[in-house]
Amino acid sequence: MKGGLSEALKRGLLEVQEYMRLIAQVGRGLVTRPIYARDIIEQLDAIGVGSLTVVILTGTFTGMVLALQSGMTLDQFGGREVVGRLVSASMVKELGPVLTALMVTGRVGSGIAAELGSMAVTDQISALRALGADPIRKLVIPRVVAGTVMLPLLTIVSDACGIAGGWIISTMQLRVAGSVYWNNVVQGLFLDDLWMGLLKPLAFGFVLVSIGCHVGLRTTGGTQGVGRATTRAVVGASVGVLVVDFFLTKLLIALMYRG
Amino acid sequence: MSEQNAAPSVAFENVSLAFDDKVILDGISFDLQPGHMKIVLGASGAGKSTILRLILGLLKPDSGRIWVHGTRVDELSEQELMAVRADLGMVFQEGALFDSLTVRENVGYRLYEQTRQPVEEVDRRVAEVLGFVGLAEYGDRMPSELSGGQRRRVAIARAMTARPKILLYDEPTTGLDPITALTIDDEIIKLRDLEAVTSIVVTHQLRDAFHIATRRAVNGGGEVRFEPAPAEDQQDTEFMMLRDGEVAFEGPAADLRASADQYLKSFLS
């Protein structure tokens, strides 16, 4: 029992060490040549444009549900008309960044782990190295850059769709005037909220893609191993996003909302 | 200076490697002269493929020294190894072709991505090597559209595109039918005899190993002919048998066949 625990602890520490090593290699690779610009553009398209549909659907329906639920609660206080304020603040500060990150984790994080995992178990990563290419520069950096750049943009789309979804429900079901809704949307947002809503997805994008790459590159055990890697990447990146969300929110509140 | 006394293309000196408690290589030493071939035999898990990965610097030994063209590779960083790898070509088990690239992009990968050669020049070289392995019309196909034998031939073409001085073959015929395996063997013989490429072939397919060791390719009037190699030519291809992490035999095909060692006899029977 004790031996098993210490083994698990050792494995955990090794994973953390290897992950930190990957992050350091990415950091070095970002400031030295060669940079594979064409691969970065390909990944911007695959991660960003490829995730648009799922992000639009998630944002819209989240905003609609948010309007429905908060409308019911606000009715108890006779404050139905401020539903726009609740929808915009919740979407921009929290739900937009987190839900977008979780949806992209499901779509992109799993895909990256499966793709790199398949390459690892079929010796394609070794072949890359044998052909004189650095897998970190060729495979990891383009994905990490694309994920970090695209997640804030996808979050903006998600926020916009969520607020529009809230408007549909507010006007059609809650019978709140459109002008009142939009007025409240603007009143519910402060500049600091917008900064928070953009800084968080920047970190989420980096975390979810780098975890996907880390798990993918360390895949062993054939096709079964690829399946396990995909699951581990999604679970690890989802938990990572939520943990980072908590600490980053705490930090940003301390920095931005003092006094 | 005679070829026999030239600096070896590859040299191992007391190289050891263990994964956890399992000893893979236990102080092995050998060298490989330019233009020569070494065929590495041994049971599964004997460390045959590990030798190739050590030469490429994909793995580091626990102890010992490894030289490639006079450069000690076991203490180089990944960045420094890039220059050494430019002179090495590797044919991986199952080919390890990049699934998302066409045959042409796979074969020309190193030249398209790692050099500033004009694209037309690279295209010409890719067509040339695809012609060499008999797959000139397959450039636009994806690896998934190829048979097992064709994939290995593309892998050979990819390994030789940048004209490496040393080629490493990891189980090049495993899993192939005997007829297809012979076509791969002939490609290996052609590269050794017509292109003078130094090579190491890791295999446990005895039939293929002896076929490669005892035949030679001759270019007669633009047509390549295969024939039994004379005894003096066979000296350039040596066998190396691994057993329990050590070199159990090293020598030409005739000496291996004549060996009285019980383990070798049972392996060859």
Task: Give the pLDDT confidence of B19-71 residue by residue, as tens digits.
Answer: 888 899 999 999 999 999 999 998 888 889 999 999 999 999 999 999 999 99
**Cα A252 to Cα A16: distance, rounded to the nearest angstrom:** 25
Q: pLDDT value at position A232? A: 94
Cα B94 from chain centre: 14
Burial class of residue A258 in the structure, from the number of CB atoms within 10 Å of its CB (0-12 exposed, 13-18 middle, 19+ buried): exposed
Which pLDDT band holds residue B1 (cuts at 50, 70, 90)? very low
* ipTM value: 0.86
Q: Would an 8 Å CB–CB cutoff place B195 in contact with chain A?
A: no
* Interaxial angle between packed helices A52-75 and A83-90, expressed in degrees from 0 to 180 and rounded to the nearest 10: 140
pLDDT of residue A258: 65
Task: Enter the CATH code of domain B35-57+83-87+164-268.
Answer: 3.40.50.300
Question: Quick one: tokens of A138?
Answer: 């060729």
B126 contacts chain A (CB < 8 A): no
- Is A22 part of a structural domain of the chain? no
> What pLDDT band is residue B133 in, cutting at 50, 70 and 90?
confident
Backbone angles phi, psi at A152, to 5 degrees: -60, -40
For A211, B3, B162, the CA distances from A125, given in Å and listed in that order, are 17, 36, 19
Contact indicator for B32, B200 with CB cutoff of 8 Å: yes
User: What range does the domain containing A225 cover?
Assistant: 36-253
Residues from chain B contacting residue A122 (CB–CB below 8 Å): 94, 96
For residue A211, list its beta bridge partners: none
Name which of B89, B97, B114 is nearest A133 (Cβ-Cβ): B114
Element spanning B200, H or E: strand B198-202
A71: closest CA among A82, A59, A58, A63? A82
pLDDT at A259: 55
The residue to which tokens 């955990």 are assigned: A12
Q: Does residue A46 lie within any of the structural domains? A: yes
| Contact yes or no for A124 and B96 at CB 8 A | yes
What was the pLDDT predicted at A192?
86
Task: State the best of A39, A125, A131, A139 to mutate against chain B, taking most chain B CBs within 10 Å.
Answer: A131
Give domain status of residue A97, yes or no.
yes
* Distance, first Cα to last Cα, chain A: 51
Chain B residue numbers with beta carbons less than 8 Å from the beta carbon of A22 are none
Residues of A in contact with B78 (CB under 8 A): 129, 134
Cα–Cα distance, A256 to A258 (Å, whole number): 6
Mutate to test the interface with A, among B77, B88, B113, B114 (most CBs of A within 10 A): B113
Contact at CB, A133 and B53, closer than 8 angstroms: no
Query: Residue A211 falls within a domain, yes or no?
Result: yes
Judging contacts by C-beta atoms under 8 Å, the chain B residues touching residue A127 are 90, 92, 96-98
A214 found inside a domain? yes
Contact A130 B99 (CB under 8 A): no
- Closest CB from A122, A124, A130 relative to B85: A130
pLDDT tens-place values along chain A, 259 residues long: 667 888 889 888 998 999 999 999 999 988 888 888 899 999 999 999 999 999 999 999 999 999 999 888 888 888 888 889 989 999 999 999 999 999 999 999 999 999 999 999 999 999 999 998 899 999 999 999 999 999 999 999 999 999 999 999 999 888 888 899 999 888 888 888 899 999 999 999 999 999 999 999 999 988 899 999 999 999 999 999 999 999 999 999 888 876 5
Asked if B94 lies within 8 A of A132 by C-beta distance, the reply is: no
| A190 touches A90 (CB < 8 A) | no
Measured between CA atoms, how close is B229 to chain A, in angstroms?
32
Task: Give how far B205 is from chain A: nearest CA, Å.
Answer: 21
Rounded Cα distance, B202 and B13, in Å = 19
Q: What average pLDDT does range B257-261 have in this prediction?
A: 84
pLDDT at position B141: 94
Phi first, then psi: what are they for A33, rounded to 5°?
Answer: -90, 160
B96 touches chain A (CB under 8 A): yes
Is the residue at A154 inside a domain?
yes
Does some domain include residue A259?
no
Whether residue B143 is predicted with pLDDT greater than 60 in this model: the reply is yes
Q: In what order do the strands lie in the sheet with B10-19?
A: B22-32, B10-19, B63-68, B71-72
Question: Total domain count for chain A?
Answer: 1
User: A163-217 pLDDT, tens per residue?
Assistant: 999 999 999 888 888 899 999 888 888 888 899 999 999 999 999 999 999 999 9
**Per-residue tokens: B128:** 């040339």
For residue A42, tell me if it sits in a domain: yes
CA dist., res. B47 & res. B41, Å (int):
10
pLDDT of residue A1: 62
**pLDDT score for A178:** 86
Q: Which of A122, A136, A108, A110 is nearest to A32 (CA)?
A: A136
In this prediction, residue A2 carries a pLDDT of 67
Give pairs for A214-217: CB < 8 Å, separation 24+: A214/A18, A214/A19, A214/A22, A215/A113, A215/A117, A216/A112, A216/A113, A216/A114, A216/A115, A216/A116, A216/A117, A216/A119, A216/A120, A217/A22, A217/A116, A217/A120, A217/A125, A217/A135, A217/A139, A217/A140
What is the distance between the alpha carbons of residues A2 and A143, in angstroms, rounded to a whole number? 39
Report the Cα A93 to chain-centroid distance in Å.
14
Determine which of A102-106, B104-108, B218-222, B224-228 has the lowest per-residue pLDDT on average: B218-222
Rounded to the nearest angstrom, the minimum Cα separation between A66 and chain B is: 42
In angstroms, the CA B135 to CA A170 distance is: 65
Closest CA to B111 of B135, B127, B100: B127
> For residues B229 and B222, what is the distance between their CA atoms, to the nearest angstrom?
20
- Interface-testing mutation among B19, B58, B112, with chain A (most A C-beta atoms within 10 A): B58
User: What is the predicted pLDDT for the residue at A3?
Assistant: 73
Which pLDDT does position B2 carry in this prediction?
40
Confidence of residue B4 (pLDDT cuts 50, 70, 90): very low
Q: Give the integer Cα–Cα distance in Å for A181 and A170.
A: 7
Rounded CA-CA distance B187/A24 in Å is 43
Rounded to 5 degrees, φ, ψ at B251 are 165, 180
Task: Give the Cα separation of A47 and A30 in Å (integer).
Answer: 19
